[in-house]
Amino acid sequence: MVLAGLSTLVPAMAQNAADPPRLRARVANPAIKNGRPTDIFILSANGPMVQFVETRESQDILQQAASAFRTLYIFETDDFVDAKVAMENRKYQDARNKFHALIGKYAATLPIKDSLSARAAVNELECAMRMMDWAGVKGLVSRFPVRTVNLSPSAQNDLEVAKIMALIPDRNWNEVKTQASSFLATKKNATRLQQARMKYALGAASLASRDPNKALDYFAEALVLLHGSDENLGSASITRSLDAYLRMPDVAQFLENSAVSAAVEARKHNPETVIPEMQMKTRPLNVKEAAALYRLHELMFPDRKLPAKYDAFAVSYKNPSAGTAEQAPAEAEKKQ
């Protein structure tokens, strides 16, 4: 490898006694193989300088300004992949712990843009977001170890979203509305997941401001944007929607009906219980919509049992196929 004029050879004795991890990286530099992509092994970064070796076994440590590399990408290590697999398998706390450990393990590379340590910090934050641990998100944001300029553009957006979601534990709803609306208006390159989180935050803020109709719109938009990418947030978008319906006067009045209360009680022994046909026909539109959402949650998240406070919506759902089944024999007789 020819690095004349651009790299400075550092004596082997300068290497950290702890023998830092040698992270394989793909780089492109005009002074290296005529600019063709090649692999090096990064030891650490000190300010703008990157310390590396040409081979995994080499003891000749070189250093060069990070800005001299046209491209510099550090490959994922086995332990990083292991943490990602845990996250993909929705073992978020396990993955969160593993990513946290990797931040420290590869901290020597933090000054490098999109370093392994930086990616670990972003993924630790992502795990907390997927757990909807907003207090935890707030804590991670407050001590985030990576400078914004050393994050990829998408990771920068992730961090901005996390900062907005971190406002939720303090119920700073006005600031949530302002910042989430600004993010959606200005970040045209935001991912669907990032947009969905902002819609959810706006829905929560609207619900807190006693505007259930606007909250319903935001939660519905969040659910559509998610498209199954985050089960916890998808489930929460539906349950918060049900909370919005519970606050509506016509819904509250209907649920006070003794027939509804009796059906809810009977459902404890027979999950198929529904309200009598007379009450079914007089359901307000908002009750019909809430009952349909309850059923949607059952279909989308069959392993997640909804709290008992929503049981009145469960017994108010009318299966569309029920009427069809009753009409079928009569129609068959007419044909005969």
Give me the DSSP letters along 85-146.
HHHHTT-HHHHHHHHHHHHHHTGGGTTSTT-HHHHHHHHHHHHHHHTT-HHHHHHHHHT--S
pLDDT band at 18 (very low <50, low <70, confident <90, very high): low
pLDDT score recorded for residue 195? 98
pLDDT score recorded for residue 7? 43
Better-predicted residue by pLDDT, 13 or 45: 45
Query: What number is the average pLDDT over the span 152-173?
Result: 96
pLDDT of 122-155, one tens digit each? 999 999 999 999 999 999 999 999 999 999 999 9
pLDDT band at 46 (very low <50, low <70, confident <90, very high): confident
pTM, rounded to two decimals: 0.86
pLDDT of 183-223, one tens digit each? 999 999 999 999 999 999 999 999 999 999 999 999 999 99
323: pLDDT strictly greater than 80? no
The least confident of 36-50, 81-95, 142-156 is: 36-50
48 closest CA partner among 121, 113, 114, 103: 113
14: pLDDT strictly greater than 90? no
8: pLDDT strictly greater than 70? no
CA dihedral 281, 271, 239, 299 (to 10 degrees): -90
- Degrees (nearest 5) of the Cα angle 28, 112, 179? 120
pLDDT score recorded for residue 322? 53
